[in-house]
Every structure is written in structure tokens, then in C-alpha cells.
Chain A
Amino acid sequence: MATTYRTCPRTGLQFDLDADKLMRWNAVAGVLWLLVGGITALLVILTRWPAIKLLPADQFYLILTAHGIDMLILWIIFFEMAVLYFASSTLLRCRIATPWLGWVQFWLMVVGGIMTNVAIFQGESSVMFTSYVPMQAAPHFYLGIILFAVGALIGSGVFFGTLVVAKREKTYTGSLPLVTFGALTAAIIAVFTIASGAAILIPTFFWSMGWIKEIDAQLYRMVWWALGHSSQQINVAAHVSIWYLVAAVAFGAKPLSEKVSRFAFLLYILFLQLASAHHLLSDPGMSAEWKVLNTSYFMYFAVLASMIHGFTVPGAIEAAQRKKGFNNGLFEWLRKAPWGNPMFSGMFISLVGFGFIGGISGVVLGTEQINMLMHNTFYVPGHFHATVVVGTTLAFMSITYLLVPTLFKREMIFPKLCQIQPYLYGLSMIVLSLVMMGAGTLGVSRRHWDMAFSGAPFQYEWPGAAYLMMGLTGIFGVIAVIGGGLWILLVVGSLLFGKKLDGGPTSDKTVPIPDQSAAAAASGTGSAEHTNVPGTVVLAITLLVCFVLYYFVNWKYLSEVWGLS
């Protein structure tokens, strides 16, 4: 079977044409699901905005279910498949293993995704993303997710196979590049995630068919979260890899220490999936010892890993910038960074937003006792919009500004709008997360149609500040939807109407990496020469101070509620 490679003349990246096509189709499928997810986001926002309250209750819960599934699973995992193929076949400059299985992955995920959406929009499956039993959805709701997951598992298999091919055919020397290593951790976590998903969704599917009588509600929550949370850890590993990739491509940056960065990825594999337990901190079925063990020992090692990446990614950029001579003061390296390049600005907003907002709120939320202040409140979606949207989605958006020219061979249209987009989307999403958390701190529930409780036997009046926060959620939510919509328009517009670019020479053999290219930076290994990174140290200490203050403020809040024992 002949393989044809194309070498991008702008970046030096080399694409196996089979992998090239798979990446493009997966990325486009992801974008289309993001479109569906974005439309549902707008409807959710406009309903939770108390002054507007657009949809009736039944439609709201239907749309909210679709929003969760389409964003958290379909958009992100389709895009991740493209990332996996890129990190293996493209960065290792080798042919992709079994491209036909790649197509099995793609079509299973397409069929599964559509099947689940059909179930949701038929109206009998408004069970939310989490589908807690004993609330039951239509059988094809579960079946669709199962097919989708099998597809993703096959995609991970193709990725592993491609690593083997590269090793055997010696297309690279030494170790895997760091970005590929990060993608490898994502794929390993994906396998664990999908196994957990199978363990719970297959019985649930049987139950919906009437073949199993009962599923324990607590057991479901425990196993489901090994799917639900771990799938977000795939995202973390993937978007941290993309941070390193952007740092390499935009600055030629090398990690401060390969050893440390790789070790941090390893910690993700060892501990992140077990952190799923923090969804169960206010549940009856687990003991306090179990909760403390799982949130501290397991989760904090994963948190440690994220704190390490949070230091080494900006540290790598600082080291690279200082080497280029941006040495004045603490922050010249940052001031003189290419803020007009949406690939960089998006990535940096993703990094800061994920660390400061998503990271800190996540750890506080994941503290055993403090969880009781926030469990199932609007704080929770506030937190994960900072991690999954600002962190993952924005990182994926930023890398697209590289992929459109190099992979799709099109120039981005409206470069000025491209420059604005990461700021519009990223900053509004950060504010959105903050006001959502604000509302949650005041007690407002998530997944709730009417904070005025119309039709209830009594009344409860939320504090005025809660209404203010929900109004701000509406405003910044709409701005964020505009920012996301702008990205979809720019990307789809560029794919259709962007200036066609030269795809570069093709060859039937893998060619050496051109020196001084983006490809050389992304595929190389080795640590930066040890430059001091005082600016990064200041950023990291700032993060720590915010973290410590906010953490103890919440203990103070907790000490003021009713006594519980």
C-alpha cells in the first residue's frame, strides 16, 4: 500500500495524505457539532437569563441535555481525534497505521453522535449529560454514546498503532516529542475512560431495553463519573499538549525541563481518573475516609501536575523570548509576545483562564467539606466553563489558526477579525465563568428552569445579587456565543472562500525535517538551556496567593453555615 506524503512549505510539517484527510474530516465534524452546541448554548443562556426566560421548561431541559452532550462529548472528542492523528502521524513524520480503521472510527462517531441527538430531540431523553438512573432515556440515547465511544476507542488504537509504526520504521530518533507524549497520555486516559463508560452505559442500555431490572443509583453515579470526569482529563492532557505545541511553533520554545513536563503528564495518568470521586463528595454512599483519600491523595497529585504545567508552559515561552533578547525587566518577554497572533493569544488566555479560574475553583470545589457549599449549584458549571471552554475549547480554537493554512491549505479570511476572536471569546467566557460562580456561591441551582419557582407551594426569594449575577450570565453568555460563532464563521468561511495555498511537494517517502521550521520545533526534544524565568515565577506566585486566599475564604464561609455532623 503506497503512502503519499505532502510537506507543507510554510511549516515544514509533513502529512500522510490518508491522515491528512482523516484529520480534516474529524476537525470539520467537530466544528459542526460545536455549531449545534453553540446554538443550544444560546437557548440555554436566554432561558436562564431571568429577564428573558425564552423556552418553556420541557424544551429547556431538552436543549440543556443536547448542549452538554454536543459540547462535552461530540465537539471535543471529534477534535481530539484530529489532534491524536496530528500528534502521531504528522509530528512523527510517519504513515498512519490502518487508515481504514480511522474511517471506522469516524463513521461510528458520526452515527453514534447523530443517534444520541435524534433521541434527545425526539423529546424522550431529556436526562441531562449525566443521565443519572433511575431517570430513563430512550435506548438509542445510550446506544449512540456507546457507538461513539467505540469509535473513539478505535481512534485511540489507530494512534497507538501509528506510534508503533513510527518506532519500527525509525521515522524519528530518540524519544517521542513532548507534544506526542502528552497526546499519548490523553489516549491512555481515553482508554480508561471508555472502559468505565462501557461498564456503566452498556448495563444502562440493557436496563432501558428492559433486560436488567434495576441499577443502583449510587453505583451508577460512581462508575458514570469515572467516564464523566476522566473524559475531561483527556481534554486536559490534550489542551496542555496544545499549549506546548503553540509555544514550540510560535516561539521555538522548549520546555524548561523535559523531565519535569513528562513526569507531570505521567501524574495525570496515575491520578487524574481517580479524581472523579470529587463529584460524589456530598453523596450518601461513600465514607469520609474514601472521600478524603480520593480528593487529596489522588486529586492533589493531578493538581500538582497542572501546577507544574502552569509553570513550565509560560516558563518555556519566557526562556525562548529571553534567549531572543527580550530581557528587560520581569515582563518584557510577555509584553513583546505576538499578541496579534490569534494562535498565541488564544493559547495564552486559555492557559491563564484555566489556571486562575478553572484550576483554583476546581480544587476548592473538590475539597470534601467545602463541596457542600457548592454541590449542584451554578458554581459547578461556572467552574467547568473555565476549564473545558476557556481551557480546552479555546486551546483547540487557537491551534486551528495554525491548522487552517497548514492542514486545509487555506488562508484565514478577515485577519483582523481573527485577531479579535480569541479575546472576545476567551475574556467573555472568563467573565461568564466568574459570574456563574458568583450566582452559585449565593446558592442558585444548576439545571434549573425557574429561579422564581413558579407553581411551587411556597416562595423563596433569592438575594438581589443572585438575580444580578444571572443577568450578567445572560449578557456575557451572549457575548461568548458571538465570539464562538465568529470563530465558526471564520473557520468555515476560510475553508470555503479563503485563498488557496500551495500544499507543498509530495513524495512517497518521509523526508527529513527542514531546519528552523515549525515542524522542527514541534517534533524536537530537549530542554531549554537554563535561563532564569523570573517573570514566570512572579506569575506562579500570584496564582498561589490567589489560590491560598480563596481557599481559606471558603473555609470561612463553611464555618458560618449550620452545624453538620
Chain B
Amino acid sequence: MSAILPPAERLWWKQPIAGQEWAWIGIAFVWAMIMFVMMVYWHINGKQNLSNEVYKTTTEMFTAKTEAFVKENTIRTETDQKIPVVKPNAKGEAFLLARLWSWYPILELEAGKTYKIHLSAVDYNHGFSLQPTNINIQVIPGYEHVVKMTPTKAGTYAIVCNEYCGIGHHTMLGRIYVK
């Protein structure tokens, strides 16, 4: 019946799809699959994957753990505010606490060694942005995220807070030394 109707009124779902269009759909689909495989491949062979080790925590619990870690491993203090510089012990466990508006404490790490860094926030959301190497991780209150990090190069690194956390957000700068 469609033959008696003008082309515009033919049933659109019976019209064939042009070869070029099919080809593009095929290419786009294959590309999507490659992108999928890349993520899985990186989990197997890549060296930069975000850890899945997470625990529920509370402000009190995480603060207490961090204080214990600082008390045990502080090697010196810096600046007028006497911020402790902490060198994790041989097991490489370290705690880093985000709060309004500081990263606590300063960590001193060694290049090439792998550390388990426990990250959490005790008030608002914060953003762990390690510069200049540029690693960015969301830090959420109530969640203790254990991230394994292996510094590659010696130097002084800054931790910028890159999740908005109020009026003092721009002063929230932390530090990691890598020897």
C-alpha cells in the first residue's frame, strides 16, 4: 500500500538504513567496546587504579586513629602552627584527615615505597588533589578510604582541597614530602 503514498508518508520503519550510516554505527559501537576493554585492561595491567578498600567510620573514630598515628610517628613539627610531620612506620600505614580547613598531618614518604593511606573527612566533603602530580580523590565524611600510593619522585607535594568546603576553602593546603 505504501507505493501509492508519496515518499514522505511511507512507513519510516520499513525504509532501509543506508550503508554509510550502518558503517558509522558499527565503528562507534566498536570504539565504545574498546573504551570498555581499556578500563578492564588497566585494572589488570595498569598501575593507577583507585582502591576499593573502604570502611564506614565516624568523626570520633577517625580522629582518634589519626591522633594515635601522629603520636606514634611524628618526627618534627613545622610552621607557627606546629603541624606535625609524620613518617609512617615500616608497615607503611598512614592517616590523612581532612577538616575545615586543613589536611592533617604532613606526611613524609619515601619514593618507590608503597603506603596505605587512610583518607577521610570529619566535617564536610573535601577533595584530595595532589599537586603537581595531579591525582584527585573525593574525600567524604563517614567513609575511611584506604588508598595504596607509591610515590615515584622525590619532592615537596601540595594537597589542594578541590571540593568546595566553605569560606576558608582556599586556605586548605596540605603537604607531603617525598624523600
Cross-chain contact B162 with A377 (CB below 8 angstroms): yes
Interface membership of A546, Cβ < 8 A:
no
Interface membership of B125, Cβ < 8 A:
yes
| Interface segment, one of A331-339, A364-372, A481-489 | A364-372
Cross-chain contact B42 with A369 (CB below 8 angstroms): yes
User: Which residues of A in the span 272-308 have a Cβ within 8 Å of any Cβ on B?
Assistant: 280-285, 287-288, 292, 295-297, 300-301, 303-304, 307-308
Interface membership of B114, Cβ < 8 A:
yes
Interface membership of B89, Cβ < 8 A:
no
State the majority secondary structure of interface residues on B: mixed
Closest to A56 in B: B167
Contact of B160 among A132, A445, A532 (CB under 8 A): A445
Instruction: Give the chain A neighbours of B61 by CB distance below 8 A.
Output: none
Interface membership of A121, Cβ < 8 A:
no
Instruction: Give the chain A neighbours of B10 by CB distance below 8 A.
Output: 526
Instruction: Give the chain A neighbours of B174 by CB distance below 8 A.
Output: 458
Min C-beta distance of A45 to chain B, whole Å = 17
Interface membership of B151, Cβ < 8 A:
yes
Cross-chain contact A257 with B18 (CB below 8 angstroms): yes
Min C-beta distance of A537 to chain B, whole Å = 6
Q: For A134, A303, A373, A448, which residue has the most chain B Cβ atoms within 10 angstroms? A: A448
Contact of A445 among B38, B125, B129, B149 (CB under 8 A): B129
Cross-chain contact A532 with B20 (CB below 8 angstroms): yes
Closest to B25 in A: A308
Instruction: Give the chain B neighbours of A441 by CB distance below 8 A.
Output: 134
Closest to A442 in B: B134
Min C-beta distance of B171 to chain A, whole Å = 4
Closest to B8 in A: A526
Instruction: Give the chain A neighbours of B80 by CB distance below 8 A.
Output: 457
Using an 8 Å CB-CB cutoff, how does the interface string of B137-178 with A read, 1 for contact, 0 for none? 111111111011111100000101111111111111111000
Cross-chain contact B35 with A367 (CB below 8 angstroms): yes
Decide yes or no: A564 and B32 within 8 Å by CB, A285-B143, A373-B134, A460-B160 being known contacts.
Answer: no
Interface membership of A57, Cβ < 8 A:
yes
Q: For B47, B127, B134, which residue has the most chain A Cβ atoms within 10 angstroms? A: B134
Decide yes or no: A258 and B15 within 8 Å by CB, A284-B143, A376-B163, A458-B173 being known contacts.
Answer: yes
Closest to A537 in B: B20
Cross-chain contact B152 with A562 (CB below 8 angstroms): yes
Cross-chain contact B17 with A257 (CB below 8 angstroms): yes
Contact of B149 among A284, A287, A563 (CB under 8 A): A563
Q: For A296, A441, A451, which residue has the most chain B Cβ atoms within 10 angstroms? A: A296
Please measure, in the bound complex, the distance between the C-alpha atom of A524 and the C-alpha atom of B10, giving whole angstroms.
11
Instruction: Give the chain A neighbours of B114 by CB distance below 8 A.
Output: 563, 565
Min C-beta distance of B110 to chain A, whole Å = 12
Decide yes or no: A559 and B137 within 8 Å by CB, A258-B13, A456-B173 being known contacts.
Answer: no
Min C-beta distance of B161 to chain A, whole Å = 8
Interface membership of A221, Cβ < 8 A:
yes
Please measure, in the bound complex, the distance between the C-alpha atom of A322 and the C-alpha atom of B119, giving whole angstroms.
60
Cross-chain contact B40 with A259 (CB below 8 angstroms): no
User: Which residues of B in the span 18-34 have a Cβ within 8 Å of any Cβ on A?
Assistant: 18, 20-21, 24-25, 27-29, 31-33
Min C-beta distance of A465 to chain B, whole Å = 11
Interface membership of A241, Cβ < 8 A:
no
| Interface segment, one of A7-15, A204-212, A467-475, A547-555 | A547-555
Interface membership of A27, Cβ < 8 A:
no
Cross-chain contact A443 with B131 (CB below 8 angstroms): yes
Please measure, in the bound complex, the distance between the C-alpha atom of A311 and the C-alpha atom of B22, giving whole angstroms.
11
Closest to B158 in A: A460
User: Which residues of A in the span 372-424 have a Cβ within 8 Å of any Cβ on B?
Assistant: 372-377
Please measure, in the bound complex, the distance between the C-alpha atom of A315 and the C-alpha atom of B25, giving whole angstroms.
13
Cross-chain contact A282 with B141 (CB below 8 angstroms): no
Min C-beta distance of A259 to chain B, whole Å = 6
Interface membership of A17, Cβ < 8 A:
no
Contact of A284 among B29, B42, B140, B161 (CB under 8 A): B140
Decide yes or no: A300 and B32 within 8 Å by CB, A443-B134, A564-B135 being known contacts.
Answer: yes
Please measure, in the bound complex, the distance between the C-alpha atom of A453 and the C-alpha atom of B102, giving whole angstroms.
12
Closest to B15 in A: A527
Decide yes or no: A530 and B18 within 8 Å by CB, A372-B137, A559-B47 being known contacts.
Answer: yes
Cross-chain contact A537 with B140 (CB below 8 angstroms): no
Q: For B9, B10, B135, which residue has the most chain A Cβ atoms within 10 angstroms? A: B135
Cross-chain contact B36 with A297 (CB below 8 angstroms): yes
Interface membership of A561, Cβ < 8 A:
yes
Decide yes or no: A132 and B125 within 8 Å by CB, A304-B28, A363-B35 being known contacts.
Answer: yes
Interface membership of A52, Cβ < 8 A:
no
Cross-chain contact B24 with A308 (CB below 8 angstroms): yes
Using an 8 Å CB-CB cutoff, how does the interface string of A521-565 with B read, 1 for contact, 0 for none? 000111101101100110010001001100100010011011111
Cross-chain contact B49 with A288 (CB below 8 angstroms): yes
Min C-beta distance of B158 to chain A, whole Å = 4
Min C-beta distance of B21 to chain A, whole Å = 5
Instruction: Give the chain B neighbours of A325 by CB distance below 8 A.
Output: none
Cross-chain contact B132 with A463 (CB below 8 angstroms): yes
Closest to A295 in B: B39
Cross-chain contact B150 with A563 (CB below 8 angstroms): yes
Instruction: Give the chain A neighbours of B12 by CB distance below 8 A.
Output: 175, 257-259, 525-527
Cross-chain contact A259 with B141 (CB below 8 angstroms): no
Interface membership of A202, Cβ < 8 A:
no
Cross-chain contact B140 with A218 (CB below 8 angstroms): yes
Decide yes or no: A369 and B48 within 8 Å by CB, A445-B160, A460-B131, A533-B20 being known contacts.
Answer: yes
Please measure, in the bound complex, the distance between the C-alpha atom of A453 and the C-alpha atom of B162, giving whole angstroms.
12
Cross-chain contact B32 with A555 (CB below 8 angstroms): no
Using an 8 Å CB-CB cutoff, how does the interface string of B100-121 with A read, 1 for contact, 0 for none? 0010000000000010000100
Interface membership of A328, Cβ < 8 A:
no
Closest to B128 in A: A282
Min C-beta distance of A67 to chain B, whole Å = 13
Cross-chain contact A311 with B21 (CB below 8 angstroms): yes
Contacts A/B (CB < 8 Å), 13 sampled: A61-B169, A217-B142, A257-B15, A259-B12, A259-B15, A285-B54, A292-B39, A304-B25, A312-B21, A372-B137, A527-B12, A561-B152, A562-B48
| Chain A residues packing against B (C-beta within 8 Å) | 57-58, 61, 128, 132, 134-135, 173-175, 216-218, 221, 254, 256-260, 280-285, 287-288, 292, 295-297, 300-301, 303-304, 307-308, 311-312, 315, 363, 367-369, 371-377, 441-443, 445-451, 453-460, 462-463, 524-527, 529-530, 532-533, 536-537, 540, 544, 547-548, 551, 555, 558-559, 561-565
| Chain B residues packing against A (C-beta within 8 Å) | 7-13, 15-18, 20-21, 24-25, 27-29, 31-33, 35-36, 38-40, 42-43, 46-52, 54, 79-81, 83, 102, 114, 119, 123-125, 127, 129-145, 147-152, 158, 160-175
Instruction: List the 6 closest A-B pairs by CB distance, nearest first.
Output: A563-B150, A460-B158, A258-B12, A445-B162, A284-B145, A300-B32
